[in-house]
Structure 1
Amino acid sequence: MSSSSTSDTDPAVAVLDAVLRRTQDKAWVSFAPDELAAVFSAFSPQRPVAVHTKGYLVLSAFCQRCRSEAPTPEEGTQVICRTFDAPTASRIADTEEPEALAGLTFLSALFDVDHLSASAIFTRDGTLEAVMDALDLFSKSRAVDLAVAHLLGRAAAHKACRALLGADHRNWLEWKSRQADDAELRAAAAVALVKLGKGANADAAEVGGAAEKAAMEDDELAALMKRLVVDARETSPLGDAVEGLAYMSTSPAVKEALSADEAFLRRLFTLVPKRKGAGAELVGESAASPLYGVVVIVANLCVYRPRLSAEEAQIAKLRRMAKTSQGSNQSQDQQEENDPLDDDDHVQERGRRLLKAGVMEALTSAVRATDSRAVRSVVGKAILSLVEDKESRGKVLQAGGAKALQTIIHSILPPSTSSNSNKIVQMEKDDFDAIQALAKLAITAAPVQVFGPNEGAIYDAIRPFALMVTHPNASLLQRFEGMMALTNLSSQSAEAATRIARADGLTNKVELLMLEDHTLVRRAATELVCNLVAGSEEVFNKWGGDRDKAAQGKLQVLVALCDVDDVPTRLAASGALATLTASPDACEGLAALERERHRVLPILGQLIDPSVVARPAADEGVEEDEDEPDALETVPGLVHRGIVCMRNLFVGVQRRSKAEQMELAWEADRVGVVRALVGAVKGCGQNPSSPILRPAAEALKWVLEHGIEIAV
């Protein structure tokens, strides 16, 4: 008889369906006796998958109700325990095997749904003893052995429960993991051993003690579970083996072994359903779900060590020193942190092996197969690691990685409405992984390659990139990459630039980042402003007014950035000024700054020829930047921009009096700007079609008309 027909005729199904309907009733607070019995029996191995699923739904609904209505988490745990503690204990201690199985499998399921209440029941006096007594009472029952192995595996993931598991429990698990008759039991016992070993090392690290030696070595356990994945023909041992590898794949040695086995990788990737509804029983958020386990393994294999800021690195160093001062040995976690197998070169090579084995097809299928936020979040993290290698980005794009990332981002971001436009969008640090991965692709590829020919997809990407720039939970690196991606998008069309300029809080944040000490961040912010000034009329007007003190302050920042020791930043800042000086208002603003501070003409003149233009004096009361160069280099792009700025400035101050214009011309001659312009014109003698010749000649004509003699 098939599972579906069995579940249709099972009386417990009707009871569970009725309970599911009752969970929607706000007055529902507890189970009737027959309902409680149906929930406990739903997880027994004899029940089909459909019944297990309904049991999980009912259990989850009840636990969520208890937690939402309880004043504190502790009281919520107490309410759940009052409902399930006694029935669980009585069933596990029952002398009838079906009842004992119901108690054991129910407690395992409760760990999946609400580990706090499950841990409270497991750590209650007598529970663990009853579990081990069941092994003696039903010593020939393969089902009981398997249920106990699964339960110990669930418990081993939690510190309070793990503390109760001693040598006898480890020895039993090791014995079962070494037997060769039952692959499913072998896998379940091995997973429990892995969790015990990892947990014991973490516990030892917390208290500054030495890690315990595992009963089985990591490489032995990993090899066992890898064989189970490659050879298994049933879902259950696959699930346990994948879960175990998900835990073990944090070890650098295991990462290398798994990534080097192409046959294993290809078999692992076949566990991912190709579409939603295919293998639906595999889709879930728990570590025991093969789909979740597969993407976790992939993410672990290709993840890079965290890039720590100077402050974070110092804090980590102090923590290690504190543990060393307590007389502890280096923990396993610390050894893994320093393992050469986890350096950038090894991680990059593992990522390339995964791509060769077809990992992107598996990851994109995982996004299509489930709406699970947990699965999609891990997929985003995995793709972020893969695109860290610039040479791999093309392969990720070809396999549909950008589309998968857009799907993940769409499911993460809350809808944008006018009512919450001024509020901070609730996002965690992990939520930015997919956005950052898409930004990396958008930085190194043309927008049409990343988003396709539909401009709507480009517009949809603006909001997440803008959020990554403005959100307080984003890192400085993420802000940098968000600005770089937006710079590329802004060059696509005027509409794209306008939409970027209108993103909530973006332009204000970018203006602050233009003053950032970090050279690359400052450069990215300036390049984005340059593109927005050229592409968005709103930004052009915002930055180019003369009567607006805020606009004049923005012009002053751009002038200052034309004088920094970073050529790309100077190119972007002078490019923005070359565009803005097409407006008479901006020219008036620059003329006012020159009269007030006497730095505009020297700085713009140095773009043309730093060898003849006097270096501007520092503002009164402002210290010189120690990193400021003694002599700026001549760069063709800067020469062109500087000449356009000077020409526009001279021609654009027509509203000023004749005397003020002559004063400006005199000052330009005094600081060397006129000599720089003459030199530029002379340099075009062999190239009459040079784009700088005409604006330079027009600038010189203006100064001639305002009383300056030009020495040829």
Structure 2
Amino acid sequence: MIIARLFEVFPAEAEKELGFQIENFLLAETTDSVITAFSLLSVLFSIDSGRAADIFASEWMQQFKMTPSMTHSEPTMLAILDCLSSACVSKQCREMIGAKFEKDLVQLLQATVSQKIKLYTATILTKLSFKPKDPKPKGSEPQQEELLSTLESLSSIFEQSVPDKDLRKQAVEGLAYTSLDQNVRMGIIVNDELLKQLVECLKSNDSSLVYGALSVFANLAVYPPRLSPDQKKVADLKKYAEAVQEKEEELAQITKQTDKRCKILVDLKIPAILSALVNKLKPNARSVAGTILTSLAEQKSLRGVLTQQGAVATLLYILCDTDAQLEPASKVFITSGLAKLLVSTNPSLVFGAKISASVAVIPLLANIDNDFSPLPLLDSFESALALTNLASFDDTTRKVIISHGWEKIENMMTSQNPMVQRSAVELVCNLSLSPYCAEKYLDGSKAANSRLNLLVALTDLSDEAGRLAAMGALAMLSEWDPAPPIMVKNEKLMACLQRILDKDTEVEMIYRAVALVGNLSQKEGGKLGSLKPGLVRVKSMVKDMTAEVDDILTRLK
């Protein structure tokens, strides 16, 4: 606390004085002084990693060497290793540790009989294994195999240490790194006892242990990165330039393996555990929990079980938590998981007295055309589908969607992407149940007439689902009291109905057109005489509409 306060009030002076004291402790070369020096520096990394890295890179640290007497003293080595592990947070420090200590660490790992020292050493070597490296040419495959072999052997040290409560924290931290590797993940997921131990870690009161376990589960669930077409082209060019070709078959295989791992995690009830623990997690841990649930939601067959285990409520808690301070990219990713679940879920099974469906609206709208999304079209499409589902739930939810998202919805309706456009039109179709949506089209203003004209134009889309949704929206709007006198005055709408009734052979379009004409005829039948021939044609073509058409014809003049 004292050191933290000093660095808060007098950062530059504190760095200079602490660096001076650490140097003196190291120069003394006694067991206690070396332990004190590295312990102080380790603490500083948790307070101000930038200033700690500057001290770590000092000339006197460059000259420091591990002596045989140090390596034979467990307390001394643990202090040194703990500091080196903390220092790996800095790229500059990792490079220095790799250049100066890696050989010593490998020898120490092979020679030590202390499981604790072995564990700390393995953790540092693992962190060094994931430091950025220059692209290697084709002749680098043996080195890559050697690295994988090393990671798997290091991971086995961590796996063996997890059951030991005294070593568990360090072991889980190591696994959080080694599980970044695909081969290591496959080894972890088939180790039932290890998975049980990791689940126990989630229930710990030690926040760093919980975070480590969450990181392991996040790595087990992670899919290959989502890339836009442009990003994929860039990635392919990079692979070509580096002469390291990653085949599509390999990616498909990785995805299959990830599917299996995610199924195991859901069977372990990880979503239910996260749901029970989420309000106790620290903000950074909540973000990881949201990442796990989003990865699990990638697989359609798991979404129902995820919802049953409380995943929707958990994601909403994470997204709506003002203290979470989610990074924009993380928020986009976690919201995409919420969208996937809500696309596949009956809202009445999730929302009700405890959770309002309108709570989900704001994050979903934020994911439409989001600048931080790597795949803005996909995220916009999925968010619109989720909102369409929510719009079928209640009028309160529809009102929130309209009041907060109407501009975005209208922009999507004119999107060049047919899937995005379709999703927006389908959303408007469901929103047409709301008087607030009806007002947008039927208040008699120029803006309302323009919106009506756009819907009419969309009935001629090449995309079948899109044009059906547009005609469905018009039919729904025609049920509102102000609709008949306004709609019959719209020449484009009347021409559209004439075309469909006279010539269209698409039965679903005809059903919607007849429903629309039926609603208009309740008040304005005298102005719809021109539609009679088309209705007669429909009556002879679609037999199950005979009674409905006859009823409409009695009101036309």
TM-score by length of 2: 0.89
Task: Say whether 1:557 aligns with 2:454.
Answer: yes
Match of 1:406 in 2: 316
In 2: Cα distance, 1:337 partner to 1:80 partner? 54
Aligned to 1:294: 213
Partner of 1:697: 550
Q: Secondary structure at the match of 2:96?
A: coil
Counting only pairs closer than 5 Å after superposition, residues 166-185 of structure 1 correspond to structure 2 as 166=98, 169-179=101-111, 181-185=113-117
What residue in structure 2 maps to residue 268 of structure 1? 198
> How far did 1:232 drift?
4.1
C-alpha contact (below 8 Å) 2:88/2:124 kept by paired residues: yes
**From 335, 352, 364, the counterpart of 1:435:** 335
Match of 2:33 in 1: 99
1:114 to 22, 34, 48: 48
Shift of 1:485: 1.9
**2:127, 2:152 → 1: CA distance?**
12
Match of 1:679 among 520, 537, 542: 537
Match for residue 375 of structure 1?
Answer: 285
Relative to structure 1, is the Cα distance of residues 463 and 166 closer, same or farther in structure 2, using a 3 angstrom cutoff? closer
The gaps in structure 2 that reach 5 residues or longer are none
Q: Return the alpha-carbon distance in structure 1 between the equivalents of residues 88 and 145 of structure 2.
A: 15
Q: Give the superposition deviation at 1:366.
A: 4.6
Question: Alpha-carbon deviations, 1:228-250, whole Å to 9, x = none?
Answer: 44554544532222222212222
Equivalent runs, 1:140-159 vs 2, <5 Å: 140-159=72-91
**Structure 1 residues 701, 300: CA separation in 2 closer, same or farther (over 3 Å shift)?**
same
Q: Please point out which of 136, 157, 161 is paired with 2:93.
A: 161
Q: Is the 8 A contact 1:226 1:264 kept in 2?
A: no
Distance 1:426 1:435 in 2: 11
Aligned residue identity for 1:697: D
Contact 2:286–2:318 (CA under 8 A) maintained in structure 1:
yes
Q: Which amino acid aligns with 2:472?
A: G
- The answer on 1:198 being equivalent to 2:130 is yes
Identity, % of aligned positions: 24
Find the counterpart in structure 1 of residue 435 from structure 2.
537
Structure with the higher fraction of residues in helix conformation: 2
Residues 255, 301 of structure 1: 8 Å contact kept: yes
Any conservation in 1 of the 2:162–2:194 contact (CA below 8 Å)? Answer: no
3-state SS of the aligned residue for 1:516? coil
Structure 1 residues 564, 367: CA separation in 2 closer, same or farther (over 3 Å shift)?
same
| Cα separation, 1, equivalents of 2:552 and 2:428 | 26
Structure-1 residue corresponding to 2:506: 634
Q: Does the CA-based 8 Å contact 1:210-1:329 persist in structure 2?
A: no
Q: Which residue identity does 1:399 align to in structure 2?
A: Q
Structure 2 letter corresponding to 1:495: T
**Can you list the C-alpha shifts for 1:495-553, whole angstroms capped at 9, x where unaligned?**
222232222xx01110100111222211221111111121x21221121133x111111
1:127 to 2:61 alignment: yes
How many corresponding residue pairs? 555
- Does the CA-based 8 Å contact 2:53-2:92 persist in structure 1? yes
1:507/1:62 Cα in 2 relative to 1: closer, same or farther (>3 Å)? farther
Determine the structure 2 residue equivalent to 1:493.
394
Pair 139,220 (structure 1): closer, same or farther in 2 beyond 3 Å: closer
Task: Tell me: CA distance 1:193–1:234, structure 2 relative to 1, closer, same or farther (3 Å).
Answer: same
1:27 maps to what in 2? none
CA distance, structure 2, for counterparts of residue 573 and residue 557 of structure 1: 9
In the aligned structure 1, how far is the partner of 2:78 from the partner of 2:7?
26
Gap regions ≥5 residues in structure 1: 1-15, 20-38, 40-58, 67-75, 274-278, 284-288, 415-424, 614-631, 669-673, 706-712
Shift of 1:411: 1.4
Paired residues of 2:221 and 2:261 also in contact (CA < 8 A): yes
Deviation at 1:139, TM superposition (A): 4.0
TM-score, L = length of structure 1: 0.71
> Residues 277-292 of structure 1: matches in 2 within 5 Å?
279-280=204-205, 282-283=206-207, 289-292=208-211
Who is 1:629 aligned against?
Answer: none
2:97 partner amino acid:
L
> How far apart, in 2, do the equivalents of 1:89 and 1:222 lie?
37
Secondary structure at 2:264's aligned position in 1? helix
Aligned residue for 1:164, secondary structure, equals helix
Q: Which residue of 1 aligns with 2:175?
A: 245
Q: Which has the larger radius of gyration?
A: 1
* Contact residue 204 and residue 211 of structure 1 kept, 8 A: no
In 1, Cα distance between equivalents of 2:235 and 2:484: 51
Query: In terms of mean alpha carbon deviation, does 233-242 or 342-351 score higher?
Result: 233-242
1:181-204 CA distance string (max 9 Å, x none): 2222111111111111210xx232
Distance in 1, Cα, partners of 2:323 & 2:363 = 8
Deviation for aligned residue 1:382: 0.9
Moved more, 342-351 or 386-395: 342-351
CA contact (8 A) 2:347 2:389 kept: yes
| Cα displacement (A) at 1:447 | 1.5
TM alignment of 1:246-645, pairs within 5 A: 246-273=176-203, 279-280=204-205, 282-283=206-207, 289-321=208-240, 324=241, 328=242, 330=244, 339-340=250-251, 343-370=254-281, 372-412=282-322, 428-451=328-351, 453-454=352-353, 456-469=355-368, 471-474=370-373, 475-503=376-404, 506-534=405-433, 536-546=434-444, 548-583=445-480, 586-587=483-484, 589-594=486-491, 599-608=492-501, 612-613=502-503, 634-636=506-508, 638-645=509-516
Does the aligned pair in 2 maintain the 1:562–1:604 contact within 8 Å? Answer: no
Secondary structure of 2:274's counterpart equals helix
CA RMSD of aligned residues (A): 3.3
Aligned mates of 2:399, 2:318 — CA distance in 1? 25
> In the superposition, relative to structure 1, how do residues 362 and 169 fare at CA in structure 2: closer, same or farther (>3 Å)?
farther
Work out whether 1:225 is the aligned partner of 2:155.
yes
Structure 1 residue 258: deviation in Å?
Answer: 1.7
**CA distance in 2 between partners of 1:533 and 1:207 (Å):** 59
* Distance in 2 (alpha carbons) for counterparts of 1:366 and 1:456: 18
Residues 156 and 319 of structure 1: CA distance in aligned 2, closer, same or farther (over 3 Å): same
2-side partners of 1:649 and 1:79: how far apart? 81
Q: 1:262 to 1:606 in 2, by over 3 A?
A: farther
